[in-house]
Structure 1
Amino acid sequence: MLEADIERIDVPGGDLHEWAPGRDGVGTQGTLQWVFHSRQKVSMMIRILLRPVTAAIVMATGLLGCASSPPSHFTRTADDFTPCANAPHCVSSQADKASARYVEPYAFAGTADGARRALLTAIDKHNNATVERADRRFVHATFRSTLGFVDDATFLIQPHDHIIDVKSSSRVGYYDFGVNRRRVETLRDQFKQALAQP
């Protein structure tokens, strides 16, 4: 296309634009090519468009902080967890075995104290984990995601049955996309490795 074929026009705002006709010169097949010469205006437009997104993220973070208070109770008795809520973001070894929320408890062959130490070692391998409480038979740890979501993992050591009952649940949201189940299974493998250490 020759320079003579390009008609230069001014539009409100002061930016220079170009009208380039199509191959047929004029008519319905003409092609309008807008060439923006002001990078500053484009940058400003991007910032304006991103403001609502930024505000939404800030608001969501604030709401999340308000909604992330821990449950008032984790257990009903010394041997029993409170049941999982109806939302599918919870798994428990004390759920009905036919339920989608059921996971196997952690088994151990040695002493309860040795199992407790191995459990704490497994939890300690997770950088996003914090042990909130570690009693002789009960352990509570929180796991925080990069977005600030908090999950509660609780463990009941059952010395006579040589198992550790486990429950893991998200504090907010509905679906967890399998995060709690995968965490329980990862901790199970790390627990077994810790038990095998001399």
Structure 2
Amino acid sequence: MVIVKWAVIIIALVIIAGLLAGQLGLLKGTPPTDLGVHDGKLKPPSKTPNSVSSQASLYPDHPQRDYADIAPFPVSGGPDATLNRIASIVDGMEGAKIVAREPGYLYVQFTTRLMKYVDDAEFWFDPVAGVIHMRSASRLGSSDLGVNRKRIEFIRQELLNP
């Protein structure tokens, strides 16, 4: 019985320490320095299953290509109108902060409420393909439990149903 009591105490302390670390901003990770569009591409997907990218197919040998693969957004009303609509949707999402907004490009950071994890999301109008490519990735952890995909699909649904 004493072992169970101590196990419960230790588990509770670990949970409290994790929550405290999150609230202190210790779990936000390091901001990436290589975001943006380079040679017509966004950054490749993460090497662990914690990102999605509409350009995953450009990296056929990537270990997370299948996990990361997601369809780009269609353009409706022109690229500027579509990116403005995405920015408007994102503005209404909890924990979202638009960091950069340039012609044809949008960079957003999403911070989770409880643990303060930060995910980086990029949206870019590809003038050749005529679509909005995106990449969304967690800074920390080897798995995002599908959070980035759910977020991008939520934005897609809002975009398609004005």
TM-score normalised by structure 2 residue count: 0.78
Q: Which residue of 1 aligns with 2:5?
A: none
* Gapped regions of structure 2 (runs ≥ 5): 1-8
Asked which structure has the greater CA Rg, the reply is: 1
Q: 2:54 aligns with which of 86, 93, 100?
A: 93
SS in 2 for 1:69: coil
Greater relative CO (CA pairs within 8 A, separation 6+): 2
Q: Which residue of 2 aligns with 1:124?
A: 91
Partner AA of 2:92 in structure 1: K
Q: Which residue of 1 aligns with 2:18?
A: 57
CA distance in 2, matches of 1:185, 1:89: 15
Matched, 1:163 2:131: yes
Superposition deviation, residue 76 in structure 1: 5.2
Partner AA of 2:144 in structure 1: D
SS in 1 for 2:56: coil
Q: 1:95 to 1:58 in 2, by over 3 A?
A: closer
Q: Which residue of 1 aligns with 2:156?
A: 188
Superposition deviation, residue 60 in structure 1: 3.3
Aligned length: 147
Q: Which residue of 1 aligns with 2:100?
A: 133
SS in 2 for 1:75: coil
Q: Percent identity?
A: 26
Partner AA of 1:189 in structure 2: Q
SS in 1 for 2:68: coil
Provide the alpha-carbon RMSD of the alignment.
2.6
Structure 1 residue runs of 4+, over 4 Å off? Answer: none
Residues 3-22 of structure 1 mapped to structure 2, 5 A cutoff:
none
CA distance in 2, matches of 1:107, 1:168: 17
Q: Which residue of 2 aligns with 1:84?
A: 45
Whether the aligned pair in 2 keeps the contact of 1:68 and 1:150 (CA below 8 Å) is yes
Whether the aligned pair in 2 keeps the contact of 1:109 and 1:162 (CA below 8 Å) is no
Whether the aligned pair in 2 keeps the contact of 1:155 and 1:164 (CA below 8 Å) is yes
